[in-house]
Amino acid sequence: MKHASTRALFSYWQERRGSRPAPTRDEIDPRAIAPALGDTFTLSADFADQLRFCLAGTRVCALFCREIKGEVFSHLWRETDRRTIEDVLGIVTCETEAVVTGLAGKAEDGASADLEMLLLPLALAGRARTCVLGVLVPATPTYWIGVKPIVGLSLKAVRHLGVETAAGSFGPPEGSRLRHGFTVYSGGRDDEPAEQAG
């Protein structure tokens, strides 16, 4: 984790969860993370099970030069990366894993910015449907951020926090996808006929 907001939110989330897999949404006090609040967001599932932005900080919205509250999270990604980011979200929400990722954000004119994103699970309490707390920040200062909108995100690296590596340094290779924390490769034994039992 390179950015101060990423480190601050992760530390606070760790403190609030204690020995449990994750804290609840009600246990997150915005005042306790005030310096990082502009870089944070929460995602909640709608009735079609799509994760949408429930809240998005001012600096997160500035990356896209618009208010993104209510937008489907996966729609911010390049089409080729959507399945992978949905698998990553599955790891966060179903397996209660914290994940940090390296991203590239592209502007309409092709300009690119390196970003860092933290995804943290939240335990569901009662009828609450908020399930992810996150940070999205530029990894390095970029002059055009907030002036030109990012029109597509692409995944560069995925790391489970507390695990040495997840998908390697540059994300899953072409033709593979993340599933339950592992990189799944197409081909190989799947293409061979099954052996007869006996």
**Full residue range of the structural domain in which residue 117 is found:** 4-191
Confidence of residue 2 (pLDDT cuts 50, 70, 90): confident
Q: How many domains does the chain have?
A: 1
Cα distance between residue 130 and residue 74, in whole Å:
16
Q: Is the pLDDT of residue 190 over 70?
A: no
More confident residue, 191 or 69: 69
pLDDT exceeds 90 at position 129? no
For the segment 40-67, the average pLDDT, to the nearest whole number, is 91
Give the global pTM. Answer: 0.79
Please check whether residue 198 lies inside any domain of the structure.
no
SS3 string of 93-128? HHCCCCEEEEEEEEECCCCEEEEEEEEEECECCCCC
What does the pLDDT look like over 104-128, one tens digit per residue? 999 999 999 999 999 999 998 766 6
Give pLDDT, residue 188. Answer: 43
- How is residue 166 written in tokens? 């997840």
d(CA 53, CA 63): 14
CATH number of the CATH domain containing 177 = 3.30.450.20
Q: Look at residue 196 and tell me if it is in a domain.
A: no
